[in-house]
Structure 1
Amino acid sequence: MPIKKLPVTPDAPASDTLNTKDLRRVLGSSLLGSIIEYYDFILYATAAALIFDKVFFGNLAPGLALFASFGTLAVGYVARPLGGIIFGHFGDLAGRKKMLVLSMMMMGFATIAIGLLPTTASIGVAAPVALVLLRMVQGISVGGEWGGATLMALEHAPASKRGFAAAFANAGGPAGGLLATFVVSGVSALTGDQFLVWGWRIPFLFSAVLIVVGMVIRLKVAESPVFKELDAKAESMEKKRRSPIMRVLRNHPRIVIITLVASLGFYTCQGILTSWGVSVAVAEGVDRSTVLNIKGLAAVVTIVVCFWAARLSDRIGRRAVLTFGGVLGVLWAFPALFLMHNGTAWGFMVAVLVGNGVVQGILAGPIGAYISELFPANVRYSGASLSYQGAATLGAGFTPMIATALTLAGGFVWVGVFWVAILVLGIIAVRVGPEGADSMQLKKHARGKQLQTH
């Protein structure tokens, strides 16, 4: 028997009662929380490339050690959909705020524990096993963070500003990565030869400071007004206990597929340009430190473009902005690949600034609001997290390996074919899917007319 939906609309009028100070606090909490979560998550990626092969897999041959180190990195991406399902379930039943507090605590515990973890030389094989388990905790945590941070911002904001509000969670990703790069670079310069001995632990332990600051801010934020209304109108406790993820899969499978495919373009750009592309540029002779500096500059551009695109989506619609970003990505794919392979710093810089900064920024801006608005409020945390984190695993998690395999099999031109195919699929998904903001704007317009009548 189909489950009757709770009478809660995506455009709950309670969200318009917040004053400016409250809304700033909510947006600041979403941004800062995402920065902290992604600082920890991306810090691990940096350590996997530069440190862990020597510290935890030093008993293996160099190539095998690096492969094993990247294998532990992949565990975090595989765990992200699991985190989205777990946190989405309880976020739809118990509230968004509680899950955000829990996700931050879990991430802080895992990251600090990695910083204190004895090496393989000290405790043997238990060290890499513990590393994998802690990386899994990181993946589950960041899998739950995005949905909660996005919904807290979106559901507190007025309908006309929900695209811009939701972008604060997505902007935390590049900002957190930028912070992680700066901290690792600074600590490496300060500790010198001791960096691989004990200096590498400092960036992980620094997470404790960030977690304390984040928790203070996050605990002061009120629960989402949409969830409050949803909770008040629940018809029975038995109904509340029914699994939100099962309701998503039973009642909204088409929306899950559409939003997952629509998100793949954003993460494929990230996987090709900021993971695989870095190794290509260095292999072609570009200085490693120059590559990292260019990545940092591109992250700044991504943040700026992300907010611009999100605000634009509030005016002309999510689908229009996502379609524009996808078309621009299709046009830029092959030029970007040729520039990355020309062996110059300027070539890599142009490829990444346009591809990662502009194209990925345009796709990142509206995607949070686009996904969230297509799911009913009573299953929104579960549905949005499942789609987005599934795309993260398939896109950012596997794209670098796919690109490497395609290059070995037939050259980097095939990477371009793959990249364009993913972007085209994303454009198709967006065009065949509905525009979630439309119904919200119509309801707002209707309420305005009712007020004028009275």
Structure 2
Amino acid sequence: MTASTLDVPGSGAQRPAATAKVKRAAVASFLGSMLEYYDFYIYASAAALVFGKVFFADSDPATATLLSLATFGVAYIARPVGAVLLGHFGDRVGRKRVMLLTLVLMGTSTFLIGCLPTYDAIGVAAPILLVLLRVVQGISAAGEQSGAGSLTLEHAPMGRRAFFTSWTLTGTQAGFIIATVVFLAVATLPESALLSWGWRVPFWFSLLVVVVAYVARRKLEEPEVFQEEQQGQKIAKFPVVELFRNQAADVLRVVCCAFIAVVSTVFAVFGLAFATSDEVGISKTTMLLVAVSANALALLMQPALAILADRVGRKPVFITGVLGCAVMVFVYFHAVMSGNVALIFLAALVFIGVAYSAPNAIWPAFYAEMFSTKVRFSGIAIGTQLGFAAAGFAPTIAWTLVGDSRTNWLPVAVLVAVCCVVCAVAAFTARETYRVPLTELGKPALR
């Protein structure tokens, strides 16, 4: 690739820039997101398949599953708090330092979850410790994508910002695949082995993979546009205060757009627990393979859809994908209830591999371009994490909506579709920014 260009701070012009910097940022964002969300998604798999029996052994199976799914949602309560804290420091001291911190927090907490005693060993202290470590995971996740998206966008040339920032979320999908494959391996163990030590192995493995990502991120450089604001003493003293003073409407817009994450958690967590329940009866192996296949397709689709968004705009690609999800959720759960494995695979490929890939690929650029450099990290972090809070508890709400029949999926599909419609309306109200220079983003005329 030849030398690219970056937006010149303070003007609409552009200048030559080292292509290596944006490539390095994209690769580091991909690896960091992949490895951090490997940690996050092994928890999702464990919550759906194992934790009810390990940490809530004194409850009946349905209640144990509900409590286990609730611990998955706990992280999403912590994430807005983490967004405020990490967003403040990300906009004050730099993107790179916060991105290193998030990896350490996630890796340590995940490893310790794998070391926790069970309910049978220490009683109620076991689920309490689980929840505390889940909170640390949530705080870490709050800064991961926001930092990676901000740093990559600020290194990227105009006209390719969506493509380069899409690798952050492509890394998330890769993390999902790795987590599911690893859990697929341990899920084949006899139940006694799975519940005693097998489920712990994926959590222990995270310590190694986080070290690899940490080494990659140590080589990153802060974006020039951020460094110039630091040198010119243009850094906001209290970024969060300035954010809500000047761009509160953009934060609200991102909150509503972030409801699209309900699709991911309902598919990955509720969908897995629902399909493998005794009432529906699809095997764990089949459903884990369905998830791997859908996300493998997403690895190919997301960069391609991001390239499209760089050519035609963020909003057409984002909104089309969101509305596609609103339709495909009904198709997917109908396929699950049919018991037809081929139909389940096909529906999941279209639902997650194609429709959900559109907003998932675009949002790092779409949201980041709503904010100015001095509040970008805070704006993305707070907006997304408030929206993601709905996604975190969506599996628990969905399990409640199913009711005693355990097969009544229609209210769950309606819930997801409503969230998608809200997201589409919010995105429609946003300004199109794919042709706006980096230094002009977030200015009053563009909101």
Residues 398-444 of structure 1, C-alpha deviations (whole Å, 9 max, x = no match):
32334344444995444444333322222221222111223228979
Q: Does 1:264 align with 2:264?
A: no
CA distance in 1, matches of 2:10, 2:82: 26
The within-5 A match list for 1:55-454 is: 55-189=54-188, 193-235=192-234, 240-241=236-237, 243-265=238-260, 267-282=261-276, 283-394=279-390, 396-408=391-403, 411-440=408-437
CA distance in 1, matches of 2:400, 2:187: 32
Q: TM-score, normalised by structure 1?
A: 0.87
Equivalent residues of 1:269, 1:355 under 8 A apart: no
CA distance in 1, matches of 2:236, 2:13: 19
CA distance in 2, matches of 1:129, 1:402: 21
Equivalent residues of 2:236, 2:242 under 8 A apart: no
**Is 285-294 or 358-367 further displaced after alignment?**
285-294
Equivalent residues of 2:148, 2:168 under 8 A apart: yes
CA distance in 2, matches of 1:337, 1:127: 34
CA distance in 2, matches of 1:188, 1:419: 28
Equivalent residues of 1:103, 1:141 under 8 A apart: yes
Instruction: For residue 333 of structure 1, report the CA deviation from its aligned partner.
Output: 4.1
Extract unaligned runs of 5+ from structure 1. 1-6, 445-454
Instruction: For residue 47 of structure 1, report the CA deviation from its aligned partner.
Output: 1.6
- CA distance 1:158–1:205, change in 2 (3 Å): same
CA distance in 2, matches of 1:170, 1:135: 21
Q: Does 1:49 align with 2:58?
A: no
Instruction: For residue 53 of structure 1, report the CA deviation from its aligned partner.
Output: 2.5
CA distance in 2, matches of 1:336, 1:52: 26
Instruction: For residue 11 of structure 1, report the CA deviation from its aligned partner.
Output: 7.8
**Is 127-136 or 28-37 further displaced after alignment?**
127-136
Instruction: For residue 33 of structure 1, report the CA deviation from its aligned partner.
Output: 0.3
The amino acid across from 1:271 in the alignment is T
2:159 aligned counterpart, secondary structure: helix
- CA distance 1:274–1:52, change in 2 (3 Å): closer
Instruction: For residue 192 of structure 1, report the CA deviation from its aligned partner.
Output: 7.2
The amino acid across from 2:251 in the alignment is V
Instruction: For residue 185 of structure 1, report the CA deviation from its aligned partner.
Output: 2.4
Equivalent residues of 1:280, 1:341 under 8 A apart: no
Which residue in the other structure is 1:18 paired with? 18
Which residue in the other structure is 1:451 paired with? none
Equivalent residues of 2:9, 2:439 under 8 A apart: no
**Is 30-39 or 218-227 further displaced after alignment?**
218-227
CA distance in 2, matches of 1:128, 1:333: 32
Structure with more of its chain in helix, by fraction: 1
Extract unaligned runs of 5+ from structure 2. 1-7, 442-447
Equivalent residues of 2:236, 2:375 under 8 A apart: no
Equivalent residues of 1:12, 1:225 under 8 A apart: no
Which residue in the other structure is 1:452 paired with? none
CA distance in 2, matches of 1:203, 1:337: 28
CA distance in 2, matches of 1:62, 1:12: 62
Instruction: For residue 276 of structure 1, report the CA deviation from its aligned partner.
Output: 2.7
Equivalent residues of 2:69, 2:396 under 8 A apart: no
RMSD of aligned alpha carbons? 2.6
**Is 406-415 or 143-152 further displaced after alignment?**
406-415
The amino acid across from 1:332 in the alignment is M
Equivalent residues of 2:87, 2:378 under 8 A apart: yes
Q: TM-score, normalised by structure 2?
A: 0.89
Instruction: For residue 198 of structure 1, report the CA deviation from its aligned partner.
Output: 2.2
CA distance in 1, matches of 2:164, 2:202: 30
Equivalent residues of 2:94, 2:222 under 8 A apart: yes
2:338 aligned counterpart, secondary structure: coil
Equivalent residues of 1:9, 1:377 under 8 A apart: no
- CA distance 1:307–1:26, change in 2 (3 Å): same
